[in-house]
Structures are given as C-alpha cells and as structure tokens.
Amino acid sequence: MQNFEYARARSVDGAIQLSTDDSRFLAGGIDLLGEMKEYIVSPKRVIDLKLIPDLDKVDLSGGVLKLGANVTIAAIVNNEEIIATLPGLAEAASEVGSPQIRNVATLGGNLAQHSRCWYYRHRDLYCLKRGGSTCYAREGENKYSSLFSGNPCISPVVSNLAIILATLDAKVNLWRGDKEVTLSIEELYAGAWNNPLAHNSLLPGDLIVSVEIPTRKNRSTYLQVSEKSDFDWALVSCAAAGRNTGDQLTDVSVFLGAVAPIPYRVESARLASGDFSKETVESIAATVGAKATPFSHNGYKIPIAQALVRRAITRIVT
C-alpha cells in the first residue's frame, strides 16, 4: 500500500470539497482497502465519510424507504420494517459476506464496489478492465464470468443489493460536483455495459448519499446459488418483485446478478400479461438463455439462472 493523505469529512459539502481526481471515499472500507493493499488503486487522498451526520439514517415514511449511504448491511438485515415491507431487500442483504462484514460494510459501498474477477484483482496482471489490452477470462478461467456483455470484458456485477434494488425501482441520489443527481439502478450501472474500464456509471468524485425505494411493490424476493452456503459470492442471483392488489400481481420485474456487468433484466412480454401459470413461468425462464454467450467454463450458469427465475416468480405469486 502506498502512502496517502487521510481526511475526515463532516458534511457532504466538505467531502465534495476535499475530493480530487486522485482521491477516494471511504465508508466501511471493505473493498477500497483491499484494492489499495494489492496496489490496484493508489489514491493520493482517502476521505472518511463516517462522521457525516444523517448518512446512516433509515426513514420509512410516505410510501418510500430512504436509506442513507452509510447504513450498514446489518442494519438492513435486522430492520423489522424492511423485513415486513420489502422482504427481498432483507434477503439480499443477508447474503452479503459474513456477520462481521455486514456490521461494517455499507449500502453505498456495496453498490460502488469493484470487480471481483481474479484477473482484475491480480496485482501483476493488467487485464482489459485495468487498462490492458486483453480480457484473460475469455480464454482462461471463466467459471464465474458473465453470460451477457456489451463489451469484451466479461467481469460480472457483484453487488447483491443492486439486483433487488433494480426490481424495486430504487433511485440513487448522489452529488456530482455541485449538483445532486438521481439515477435509477440501471442507470447507475449502464456505463459498465459498453465500457470495459467501468465498474458502474460513477464519475471520479461522485458521492452516493442515499437510496430511495418505493414500497408499492409489496411482494419481493431474492435468491442466489453459491458454492458455499455461507459467506460466498453468488454464482447466479435472481430478484423478483411485483405489486399484489389482492386478485392480481402487476408491475412485475425480474433481474439476474453475476451473469452480466450490470443487473440483467429478464425481458419477457409474458411478465406484463398478469398470467403467472406454470406454463407462463416456464416460458419466461426459457427466454433467459436465448441471448446468452457462455464460455468454456460458465455454461452451467444458464440452467441455474432459469431455475432461479422460476423459483423467484413462484415465490412472489404464491
């Protein structure tokens, strides 16, 4: 780890003023410190956000759940109102790391974390995502890589929370210079689809301050398959959410994680039909593999994704 200047911000304005092109924001530090120790990133200044008031607030009023960027993952897992209102969010949070990590890791950090591809994380390799010319995963060990990508890099998004938040139509509020900008979850990650260097759409100096989640979708769930039952990254994850009006499920959306550099929307006209018979659900699941581009070691993800889509939709319907 190279030497750096450490600064503590006591307000959002102060954090923005301290920020430069060579600085990074620090909240829980789970991802940033790991990258610094491996010399993947070497910021000249690290700006601690933990003293900024109100960034750790949870507010459920007016039909919208507002979470500050410094809300810990554990706080989401254990919040009774979230469990009752948006169960899929609590389920996704419960799959993040270990209890010790969840006590420290933050919502903003989970959304902004970088690739876990071992070629990207290797200190001696300069893969495509680190500014090199080659995506080594394409011809190498690609067991954990994407099935869908708009660019040559096949490193997948790793945020659990991004997947469920996409289904819930969440909005991310951030400061970009002197302006407050609001992005949907899909917009927050859109930059990674076409740009191999991008992990998301955040620009240098962008600071996530809160996430707002409408509560109109009263049925939600999150599922993932991992190699280990606890403390492991998802091989494939799936979130589904919709609005149950008593006699019909509407406004249904389904997203997959760990299969693309973005939360991957399951596109199917059948999702808008309101008919979720067994045959319809099977049809929706079958569309998942149609556009997939499996590599030598990750084709197994297709049937897992299809199974998770079936299970997730069935959960919110029944």
Are 38 and 78 in the same domain? no
pTM: 0.96
- Pure H helices in the chain: 12-18, 30-37, 73-78, 80-85, 87-94, 99-102, 107-112, 118-121, 136-139, 160-167, 185-194, 278-286, 301-317
What pLDDT score was predicted for residue 111?
A: 98
SS (H, E, C) 201-261: CCCCCCEEEEEEEECCCCEEEEEEECCCCCCCCCCEEEEEEEEECCCCEEEEEEEEECCCC
259 neighbors 309 (Cβ within 8 angstroms): no
Domain that holds residue 182: 58-112+155-317
Beta bridge partners of 171: 184, 212
Identify the DSSP state of 1. Answer: -
CA 102 to each of CA 107, 200, 268: distance values in angstroms, whole numbers, following the listed order: 10, 22, 34
Tell me what the mean pLDDT of segment 280-306 comes to: 95
Q: How confident is the model over 129-160, as pLDDT tens digits? A: 999 999 999 999 999 999 999 999 999 999 99
Are 6 and 104 in the same domain? no
Spatial separation of the C-alpha atoms in residues 110 and 46, rounded to whole Å:
18
Domain contains 65:
yes
**What is the pLDDT confidence band of residue 61, given thresholds at 50, 70 and 90?**
confident
CA 221 remoteness from chain centre: 15
Are 167 and 102 in the same domain? yes
Are 74 and 162 in the same domain? yes
Q: How confident is the model over 81-128, as pLDDT tens digits? A: 999 999 999 999 999 999 999 999 999 999 999 999 999 999 899 999
Domain contains 210:
yes
Are 216 and 92 in the same domain? yes
Q: Three-class SS of residue 39?
A: coil
Q: Three-class SS of residue 89?
A: helix
